[in-house]
């Protein structure tokens, strides 16, 4: 597997005890990223919250970091990444923040250093736009949502 260098910068010493993003297993596609909160942070039922990580990144040009939910948080606690997958562009240098949504009916507590999402480094391709009067014909054609199967 090809490895790409991803530079990560801590924004303060206040959260030096919070682990940096990392892969949980050899085969993991995503790196767990953790909450940099001083005190317990409550995400109210049915609400979204923006969680700090105290990190910024330097992503190589031609790549993005995708922010994705953690399956354990989703299935056990109804917590997901609201704009999933979120995109961190290669030219962004601000703090990485994670938009979590509590889809459940009970408040959820995030503690300092909790794994809150995962980051997947992905190759990005730039499209060249070509205006045309004709597109090739497919079996689906203009069939919209639910066209290829029952909902």
Query: Which domains are assigned to the chain?
Result: 7-123 (2.70.40.10)
pLDDT at position 70, please? 95
Q: Taking the mean position of all CA atoms in its chain, how far away is CA 142?
A: 31
- Using the 8-state DSSP alphabet, how is residue 30 labeled? S
Of 19-23, 54-58, 73-77, 143-147, give the lowest mean pLDDT range.
143-147
Burial class (CB in 10 A: 0-12, 13-18, 19+), 57: buried
Residue 139 has pLDDT above 90, yes or no: no
pLDDT at position 149, please? 65
Using DSSP bridges, classify how beta strands 48-52 and 41-43 pair: parallel, antiparallel or unpaired. Answer: unpaired
pLDDT at position 150, please? 57
pLDDT grade, residue 39 (50/70/90)? very high
Quick: pLDDT tens for 97-133. 999 999 999 999 999 999 999 999 999 999 999 999 9
Query: Is the pTM value of this prediction over 0.85?
Result: yes
pLDDT at position 148, please? 67
Estimate the share of the chain in helix, then strand, then coil, as percent rounded to the nearest 5. 5, 35, 60
């Amino acid at each position: 597997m090809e490895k790409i260098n991803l530079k990560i910068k801590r924004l303060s010493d206040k959260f030096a005890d919070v682990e940096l993003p990392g892969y949980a297993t050899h085969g993991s596609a995503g790196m767990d990223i953790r909450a940099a909160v001083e005190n317990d942070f409550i995400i109210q039922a049915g609400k979204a919250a923006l969680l700090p990580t105290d990190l910024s990144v330097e992503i190589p040009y031609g790549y993005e970091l995708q922010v994705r939910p953690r399956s354990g948080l989703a299935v056990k606690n109804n917590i997901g990444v609201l704009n999933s997958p979120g995109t961190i562009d290669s030219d962004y240098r601000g703090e990485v923040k994670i938009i979590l949504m509590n889809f459940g009916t009970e408040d959820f507590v995030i503690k300092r250093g909790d794994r809150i999402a995962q980051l997947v480094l992905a190759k990005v391709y730039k499209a060249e736009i070509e205006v045309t009067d004709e597109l090739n014909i497919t079996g689906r054609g203009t069939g919209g949502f639910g066209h290829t199967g029952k909902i």
